Amino acid sequence: MRKLSSVLLTLTYIALSSSLAESQHTLSVDNFVSERTFEIDYENNTFVRDGKPFQFVGGSFHYFRAMPQTWQRKLRTMRAAGLQVVTTYVEWSLHAPKDGVYDFTGIADIEEFIKLAAQEDLLVILRPGPYICAERDNGGLPYWLLHKYPNILLRTDDEDYKREVAKWYSVLMPKMQKFFYANGGPIIMVQVENEYGSFYACDENYKLWIRDETLKYTQSHAVLFTNDGPGMLRCGKIPNVLATLDFGAADDSSIDQYWKTLRKFEKKGPLMNSEYYPGWLSHWQEQFQKVDTKLLLRPLEKMLEDKASVNLYMFYGGTNFGFTAGANDGGPGNYNSDITSYDYDAPMTESGDTTEKYFALRELISKYFPLPDIEVPENLRKVKLPDVHLKPYSVLLDLNGRRHLSSFTVTSLNPMTFEALNQNSGFILYETKLPNVKRDPVLLKINELRDRAYIYVNRQFVGVLSRENKIDSLPISSMLGEDLQIIVENEGRINYGIANDFKGIIGNVQYNSVILLNWTMTGFPLENYRQIDDLVSVLRRKYGSNRTASIKSYLRSGPTIFHGEFILKESEIADTYLDPTLWGKGIAFINGFNLGRYWPIVGPQITLYVPKEILRIGTNKITMLELERAPENGLVSFTDTPNLEGY
Ligand SMILES: *[C@@H]1O[C@H](CO)[C@@H](O)[C@H](O)[C@H]1NC(C)=O
Ligand SMILES: *[C@@H]1O[C@H](CO)[C@@H](O)[C@H](O)[C@H]1NC(C)=O
Ligand SMILES: *[C@@H]1O[C@H](CO)[C@@H](O)[C@H](O)[C@H]1NC(C)=O
């Protein structure tokens, strides 16, 4: 047995637990008198908590996918299912949105999340990455790494990468130390890297370096682990770090086979499935992915009979608000962007409600672990609201749009990427002149477009190019004019597969065989809602309701800002779903909060989840940036039922 040293009860824990004592659910009284230890008994193939063998069922819930006001309730719902552990990633890009800028407030208040977990009698497994995949933009790595070091080799022994990780851990980890189990907190385990066995680099030096960088902070106060798919252990296993597996529903003999594979790399120690999938992720332009409850139960039972510990990924999925959704690399040239919802067909819905799957799992879990004496929280009320009428105000390409919403205008010989221009998300407008070639039509081709381009000639829409659909050229009639405008949309950096997913126009733009040069680039990050609000206020003052142009003519001349207001009574403040069924593709804001991308033309997600925390009694504002189409009456509705299956 590799016996880890333990640490006596610390003052931190007393401080933490005295507030816990007031809550309904306290940690066991033992904790106040005995040493707190969490360690591995390799000989007996088990975790040992405070001297006793310990097996658990946990569930993943990422704090960055739910409104902070709702964390406690969701954690309680998880505990009420019999889970003893909540598992979360830490998202570097959320906490360090710009180089040297840190945020641990609001939805980024991870310390609060961990305290609430402890209060709700849950232990915590921390997955700090720093690469987390998680269907998040760039797998959670900040975009600015690609700005600062264009040649960086992410997740390898690269000096620049390691220096930045070390700097980040020196900010994050001291905040986590008081929460490690042996220091009195709920964190029992800390992950080293994330599914590294699936990464092309397989860099042995980096694996040891990231292990030691983590160990510097955890020391013996939490157990280090890795997790990988059963076929990925060769590069995934790190010496002296507990290897665990990731796999979904499977038959008994397959599970036996998985454990056998694990045993080739981890001869002894507790068995663990760190990601048992009760649902699955979905991309745009495909069916909403589901996992049948009936298929889930036997494998979980089998793993528990095998004395394995199991973490369900996701138990509560949540939402990729704003521009946070990532994309998957589906093999060479295949780019699949993730939908905004991370409902995941998980046991708890996007709004945190329980489902038939939740209760089936709870019943099974209760046969192995005692259910706590707490009520399962009731599902939240949802509201259907009257339709809201939105009016078009401006297009990005016109003078008002540019003046209010752009963050820079730069010129260069060749097109530059989002990262070179230091822009994270949103859109970049690329403009140049079309040369006079004696052909009609002429093929316009973008080499390495990431990810989607709206093409205009003389500010009139001529078509869309798409990385997702592998369409990179379109014919243009030379009759149309000579000013070329290309709006490029970043649909989310790849989170799994290739690294360094730069955005924008990566190669060049051809007009037949002529390479177009001398570009003007204008950035529309749409990060600061105040700018959108100012634009709308200015135009309302200027024109009132005296606009004659049709919605169609707005959309023909560029991505259009629509705005409307609606009044809510106190009784109407409840979770709801924005339903943009007759709209095309874009992003929606309510009271300045970016709900995320919508794209009902392709699905499967139709509605966007609207948490009640962003609604107000009185006047509420809704703004949509629409790229493609809108109903001529400008109406959008709010429904009480999500629709994620409109494919
Ligand atoms: C394994 O468990 C047995 C029985 O519970 C115990 O006697 C023994 O000390 C344990 N082995 C180690 C190495 O702790
Ligand atoms: C690009 O701009 C440079 C400098 O203004 C000019 O000399 C050159 O002719 C331009 N090239 C094209 C293709 O317009
Ligand atoms: C709207 O049009 C009416 C009639 O032409 C005019 O009297 C009014 O001043 C206009 N309002 C604004 C804000 O331009």
pLDDT digits (tens, 9 = 90+) for 320-348: 999 999 999 988 889 999 999 999 999 99
Nearest ligand to residue 520 Cα: 2
Q: What is the whole-number distance in angstroms between the Cα of residue 545 and the centre of ligand 3? A: 8
The response to whether residue 398 sits with its C-beta less than 6 Å from ligand 1 reads no
Residues 459 and 343 in one domain: no
Say whether 195 is catalytic: yes
Tell me the per-residue pLDDT of 265-319, one tens digit each, with 9 for 90 and over: 999 999 999 999 999 999 999 999 999 999 999 999 999 999 999 999 999 999 9
With a cut of 70, say whether residue 443 has pLDDT above it: yes
- Percentage of the chain surpassing pLDDT 90? 91
Residues 482 and 540 in one domain: no
Residues 422 and 298 in one domain: no
With a cut of 50, say whether residue 9 has pLDDT above it: no
pLDDT (0 to 100) of residue 186 = 98
Q: In the structure, which protein residues have their CB atom closer than 6 angstroms to any atom of ligand 3?
A: 543-544, 546
With a cut of 90, say whether residue 35 has pLDDT above it: no
Nearest ligand to residue 414 Cα: 2
Tell me the per-residue pLDDT of 516-572, one tens digit each, with 9 for 90 and over: 999 999 999 999 999 999 999 999 898 877 777 899 999 999 999 999 999 999 999
Q: What is the whole-number distance in angstroms between the Cα of residue 307 and the centre of ligand 1? A: 16
Residues 512 and 535 in one domain: no
Residues 429 and 333 in one domain: no
> Which H helix or E strand runs over 522?
strand 519-524
Among the listed residues 91, 195, 431, 572, the single catalytic one is 195
Q: What is the whole-number distance in angstroms between the Cα of residue 518 and the centre of ligand 2? A: 6
Q: Edge-to-edge strands of the sheet including 509-511?
A: 473-476, 442-446, 509-511, 514-515
Q: Which residue's alpha carbon is nearest to atom 12 within ligand 3? A: 543
Residues 131 and 151 in one domain: yes
With a cut of 90, say whether residue 1 has pLDDT above it: no
Q: What is the whole-number distance in angstroms between the Cα of residue 42 and the centre of ligand 1? A: 10
With a cut of 50, say whether residue 26 has pLDDT above it: no
What's at 552, amino acid-wise?
K
Q: What is the whole-number distance in angstroms between the Cα of residue 404 and the centre of ligand 2? A: 29
Q: If you average pLDDT over every residue of the chain, what do you get? A: 94
Q: Is residue 27 part of a domain?
A: yes
Tell me the per-residue pLDDT of 613-631, one tens digit each, with 9 for 90 and over: 999 999 999 999 999 999 9
Measured from the Cα of 546, ligand 3's closest atom is 1
Nearest ligand to residue 39 Cα: 1
For 108-147, give the secondary structure using H, E and C.
HCHHHHHHHHHHCCCEEEEECCCCCCCCEHHHHCCCHHHH
Q: Is residue 371 part of a domain?
A: no
With a cut of 60, say whether residue 34 has pLDDT above it: no
Confidence of residue 499 (pLDDT cuts 50, 70, 90): confident
Mutate-to-test residue for ligand 3 from 537, 546, 547, 548, highest number of ligand atoms within 8 A of CB: 546
Q: What is the whole-number distance in angstroms between the Cα of residue 26 and the centre of ligand 1? A: 29
Q: What is the whole-number distance in angstroms between the Cα of residue 53 and the centre of ligand 1? A: 10
pLDDT (0 to 100) of residue 647 = 87
- Phi, psi torsion values for 642, nearest 5 degrees: -70, 150
Rg of the chain in Å (alpha carbons): 26
Q: Which of 482, 506, 524 is the last residue of a domain?
A: 524
The response to whether residue 517 sits with its C-beta less than 6 Å from ligand 2 reads yes
Q: Which residue's alpha carbon is nearest to atom 2 within ligand 2? A: 518
pLDDT (0 to 100) of residue 546 = 74
Positive/negative CA dihedral, 574, 121, 273, 172? positive
Distance between CA atoms of residues 455 and 484, nearest Å: 7
Distance between CA atoms of residues 603 and 608, nearest Å: 12
Domain span at residue 430 reads 408-524
Q: Which residue's alpha carbon is nearest to atom 4 within ligand 1? A: 44
Q: Is residue 465 part of a domain?
A: yes
Confidence of residue 497 (pLDDT cuts 50, 70, 90): confident
Burial class from Cβ neighbours inside 10 Å (0-12, 13-18, 19+) for residue 6 reads middle
Q: Which residue's alpha carbon is nearest to atom 8 within ligand 2? A: 518
Cross-strand pairs, 319? 341
Distance between CA atoms of residues 476 and 387, nearest Å: 39
Measured from the Cα of 433, ligand 2's closest atom is 14
Measured from the Cα of 48, ligand 1's closest atom is 14
- Give the CATH number for residue 450: 2.60.120.260
The response to whether residue 518 sits with its C-beta less than 6 Å from ligand 2 reads yes
pLDDT (0 to 100) of residue 96 = 98
Q: Which of 492, 524, 556 is the last residue of a domain?
A: 524
Q: Is residue 398 part of a domain?
A: no
Residues 540 and 510 in one domain: no
Q: Is residue 646 part of a domain?
A: no
Residues 342 and 212 in one domain: yes
Residues 579 and 471 in one domain: no
Q: Is residue 378 part of a domain?
A: no
Residues 209 and 228 in one domain: yes
- Give the CATH number for residue 299: 3.20.20.80
pLDDT (0 to 100) of residue 477 = 93
> What total number of domains does the chain contain?
3
Q: Is residue 7 part of a domain?
A: no
Q: Which of 489, 506, 524 is the last residue of a domain?
A: 524
With vertex at residue 261, the alpha carbon angle to CA 256 and CA 267, rounded to the nearest 5 degrees, is: 105
Confidence of residue 14 (pLDDT cuts 50, 70, 90): very low
Mutate-to-test residue for ligand 2 from 433, 434, 513, 517, highest number of ligand atoms within 8 A of CB: 517
Among the listed residues 120, 164, 266, 275, the single catalytic one is 275
Residues 512 and 543 in one domain: no
Tell me the CB-side half-sphere exposure of residue 491, using CA atoms within 13 A: 26
Residues 581 and 488 in one domain: no
